Amino acid sequence: MKKAFLQFLVLLLVFFSSWLLLSQLNFMKYIHVDRITKKTEHKLGDLIMDNIREQKKEINNDSVQKVLNELKLRICSNNNINADDIKLHLFSSEEINAFTLPDKHMIIYTGLIKYCKNADELAGVMAHEIGHMEKNHVMKKLVKETGLAVVVSIASGSGNPAIITKILQLLSSTAFDRKQESEADAYAVRYLKNAHIDPAALANLFTRLRYDKPATSGQFDVISTHPSSKDRAAEILKLRGPDTYVTIYTPALDTNSWHTLKSAANNYFSGYSN
């Protein structure tokens, strides 16, 4: 009995000694968790981008890219966001969609640009996606849906094409949960107001998409789940607040720049570019 008690005391001493030692260590310093995470996200982003380029035509038009970058810079520069970190890609597709990939890749389909009535609506979607980036929703979603081990193994291996395709489908066609979507909407309103772009345009887009279902159902990740587009439009207008004499909104793009994007959306389609 006495021997067992002494063994217990020894184990207890070892446990608390180990706990005390471990509590003094900076694990971030020794195993570089942040560095591994960024490396993993970068590799995942590259793998998924390679996959989407095999399926759809990327539009690498300097004048088009210049306009998209103009929109990105206006949002980012007015919100202390590093615009260089965000990688914009325009793909030819009739789908009404825009979504975010790991490593801050933002994918925009020409179908979305064709659907938008003005540049303010497109800016609203871009601001929403930047909100997802700033809250790291993409990696959180991937880990939740597939598991951390799967995400790390894919990024550290050669990247199974079938699995990468599934991940692309997950990110492009399934929206985030209620909390994440609401956060991204709130960030979008703030970003747009700081950039002097009227957030009401994003609310108008949500309202129109609601009435255009089922034509757009399952395409646009921003509206494909709860909360409903009606509720989100109402919340955006609430966050926007009423017009006042100090509120000065200006168009997100000038007429010529918006025409450049609309022309690109109308003239490019899968497998063809002029």
Interacting residues of 141 by C-beta distance below 8 A, sequence separation 6+: 170, 171, 176, 180
Tell me the helix, strand and coil percentages in the chain, rounded to 5. 65, 5, 30
Q: Which two tokens stand for residue 96?
A: 């009404």
Q: What are phi and psi of 79, to 5 degrees?
A: -135, 20
pLDDT: which is higher, 228 or 85: 85
Question: In 3D, which of 112, 131, 111 has the Cα closest to residue 122?
Answer: 112
Give the pLDDT band of residue 27 (cuts 50, 70, 90).
Answer: very low
Strand partners, 57: 92
Residue spans of alpha helices (H) in 174-247: 178-194, 200-212, 229-240
* pLDDT tens-digit readout, 143-189: 777 776 667 677 676 567 777 888 888 788 766 788 889 999 999 99
Residues 36-65 have a mean pLDDT of 88
pLDDT at position 24, please? 44
pLDDT at position 20, please? 45
Q: How many CB atoms lie within 10 A of CB 82?
A: 9
* pLDDT tens-digit readout, 86-96: 999 999 999 99
* Angstrom distance (rounded) from CA 101 to CA 167: 10
> How do the domains of the chain map onto residue ranges?
30-267
Three-state DSSP at 269 gives: strand
* Angstrom distance (rounded) from CA 152 to CA 139: 11
Interacting residues of 251 by C-beta distance below 8 A, sequence separation 6+: 118, 119, 120, 197, 258
Task: Return the ∠ at Cα 124 (arms to 106 and 44), rounded to 5°.
Answer: 15
CB 123 within 8 A of CB 252: yes
Mean pLDDT of the chain: 80
Interhelix angle 255-267/119-134, nearest 10 degrees: 80
pLDDT at position 216, please? 52
List Cα–Cα distances, 157 to 35, 104, 152, 161, in angstroms. 17, 21, 8, 11
pLDDT at position 262, please? 94
Sheet holding 105-109, edge to edge: 57-58, 87-92, 105-109, 98-101
Interacting residues of 169 by C-beta distance below 8 A, sequence separation 6+: none
